[in-house]
Chain A
Amino acid sequence: MKIKLHELTISGDMFPHSESEEDQFYELSALVLDELFTSQPREVEVTEGSILLGSVLASKNVFGVLENVSLFPFQPRHRYSSGDVTSVVSESLTMALLKDVFKVDLRKVVPGRTAKFVGAFTDLYVPPESLGELERVFEGRRALFVEIRGSATGRGMYEKAERAFRTLEAVRYPRAFGMVSFVTRGSIGLVYVR
């Protein structure tokens, strides 16, 4: 399955981290999101098996993910799209991307979406030794935290981005790497935070 992939690298220092700074998460996330989806995409290939593997590690009980993934861009817009399906599709696609495009070892990751009630954790944790080709993207080898957001309609993306960056910064700051994956109807956007 072919996927359009937008990429953007940003520095984590641009976000506020302490009380002395002004809370500009919303404005900054909106800027990042606009920049991301106006960039030139590249086409990558994701295999069905990796999506299937990802769907088993996803946080919700949705079956038939392969059909759902292929139908995701063609959903009729006059009805609501299911939030559960959207989140499982976005999680599966992101994990498949990590496995196929970046050669991340899916055996060692920690899926954290079911433990979000802890209060400070991201959707996925990738240990430093299994970064694969992401080492070249980040130019280093440290722990990686991945936030995953999906939207079938494209509505509410700015709010989702803001929340994603807030959680990510709470966990990532100051040393580790971060990544936010936005899964939309037509393409996937990856933001690398260093």
Chain B
Amino acid sequence: MPCEDFSYSLMKAMAGSEDGLEEIKDCRSFLREEVTELKERLTLAKASIKELHALPVAIRKHGLDEVDLVKLAMFEVSRRAERAFPTGEEIRGKRLLGRALGTERTFLLIAYCEGCRGERQGSLRNSMGYFVQLDEVIIAEITLGDRAKVIAELEELIR
């Protein structure tokens, strides 16, 4: 089912994974048909009220429930994400594929590791920084460190 694990796909796409970007694109094409009508209904609902506090009932009267609003928001977020990713400079390790945002020695690393499992976090020993793993996504904030060394150390820590 598309649009499941939405923010997980977002993070994967940010790291430069093809899978993540594909999931987001699937989600958007899945929602595309419905969204036009939902948007029209929301505009009508907003135009029908004189005072702001009547919005909740007006939205329901025009046949929108909270799930429809989630669909609208998901569509917009995925539209922005699809155009934006991936950004940053690509870094490749043996298992890791990542994107670094920042300068040579101070950067934010968002990496993707296919097939990795588990939740881990901790600080790095050979460079100054902190990392966190959520299954296939690894995020590290490096305050001082060499890119190659950071990648090498992360590959030891993550499984």
| A residues in contact (CB < 8 Å) with B | 15-19, 21, 23, 25, 47-50, 52-53, 56-57, 63-66, 106-112, 114-115, 117-121, 125, 143, 145, 166, 169-176
Contacts and interface: CB of A to CB of B under 8 A. Distances in A.
B73 A121 contact: yes
Contacts of A175: 65-66
A82 to B, nearest CB: 18
B29 interface: no
Nearest to B72: A118
Contacts of B121: 47-50, 52
Contact of B130 (A52, A119, A125): A52
B59 A117 contact: no
Contacts of A66: 130, 141
A53 B134 contact: yes
A17 B42 contact: no
B49 A111 contact: no
Residue among A49, A119, A176 with max Cβ neighbours from chain B (10 Å)? A49
Given A56-B14, A114-B77, A171-B66, A19 B5 contact: no
Given A56-B110, A112-B77, A170 B55 contact: yes
Contacts of A18: 54, 56-57
Contacts of B83: none
A21 B80 contact: no
A111 B54 contact: no
23 contacts: A16-B54, A19-B53, A50-B121, A50-B132, A52-B121, A52-B141, A56-B14, A57-B7, A63-B108, A64-B141, A107-B135, A108-B5, A108-B6, A110-B74, A114-B76, A118-B69, A118-B76, A121-B72, A125-B73, A143-B67, A166-B53, A169-B55, A170-B56
A49 B5 contact: no
B32 interface: no
Given A48-B130, A174-B56, 14 more contacts: A18-B54, A47-B121, A50-B121, A52-B121, A56-B11, A57-B7, A63-B108, A110-B73, A111-B7, A120-B55, A120-B69, A121-B69, A143-B67, A145-B66
